[in-house]
Copies of this chain bind each other. A is one copy, B any other.
Amino acid sequence: MTKKPTPTAFPTHAPHLIKDAVKLIASYPKVPITVDCVIFGFEENELKVLLIRSDLEMYKGFWSLLGDNAKDNEELDSAAYRILKERTGMNDVYLDQVRAFSHPQRHPGGRVITLAYCSLLNIQHHELKIYANELHWHSFSSIKEMAFDHKEILDTCYAWLQKRIQEHPLGFNLLPDKFSLRELQNLYEAILGVSLDRRNFRKKFASMGLLIDVGEMEEDVPHRPGKLYKFNFEKYEKNKRKWIGIDF
C-alpha cells in the first residue's frame, strides 16, 4: 500500500560542501511534526474507528486520533508504525499516508504539523493491548466532535477510504478470513453510504473471480445461512492493476 521513499544516493562530496548544505538547513525554521493514525474497522455492520481520549487537559473528555510526535531522524512512515504499535500493540497493519495538516493554529500549544496515516483492519484479528488512554472502537457515524482538528482529519480520511475502496477491493482487509456475501455487501454499503442491488453486487464479485468458496456455511444466524468465502489474495496481487475502478 504505502510506498516507502527510497534513500537518496547523493554523491559523497568534499567536507566543505557538506558544511554548506548543513549551514543551509540550519537556517530553516523548524517545526514539531506529529503523525496521527486513523484506523478503520468494521463490526456489527458498522464502520468503526479507533480512538483514544485526548491526553491534553485542555481537551479533557474529547476523543482524539492515535498520534504522537515523530522522533529525530525518523521517517514518517516508520513513525506511524511505531506509534500505532506503542499505543495498540498492533504490528501487522498497513498504513497509508493521506495528507499533511498544517494550519498554524491547529494546536493550542503552538504550531505543529501533522501527517495523517490511514489503515483498514479486521477488528477480530487485532486484539487491542490497551497501552493508551481509553482506547476504543467507535461507530464512525457517532463521532461529531473531536480534539484539535481531528474531526477534519477523520473526515478527510473517510473520503480517502471511500475512494480507495472503489479502486481496490480492500474491503477484504476489514472482514474476517471467512465471510458471507451479505457481510461483504454490508461493508460496501456502510462505507459508501449507498444501498446496492444484491444480485448485481454478487454478480460483480463473481465476475472478478476474487472469491473462493470455502465450502462452509454461516452459523448462528437467525435465518437461512449463506455460504462462506475467502479472498483470493494471490489472484488479486497478480492482477492488481486491473481492479482499479470498481463501479457499482
Contact = CB atoms under 8 A, between A and B. Distances in A.
A25 B110 contact: yes
A91 interface: no
A115 interface: yes
Contacts of A77: 102
A222 interface: no
Interface string A1-35: 00101111011010001101111111111111110
Contact of A32 (B18, B30, B57, B110): B30
A101 interface: yes
29 contacts: A3-B156, A5-B149, A6-B152, A7-B103, A7-B105, A7-B106, A8-B103, A8-B105, A8-B152, A10-B148, A17-B58, A18-B58, A18-B109, A20-B57, A20-B58, A21-B107, A21-B110, A22-B110, A23-B109, A24-B109, A25-B110, A26-B110, A28-B32, A28-B34, A28-B112, A30-B32, A31-B31, A33-B113, A77-B102
Nearest to A103: B5
**Total copies of the chain:** 2
Contacts of A5: 101-103, 106, 149, 152
A75 interface: yes
Given A6-B103, A97-B100, A103-B5, A109 B22 contact: yes
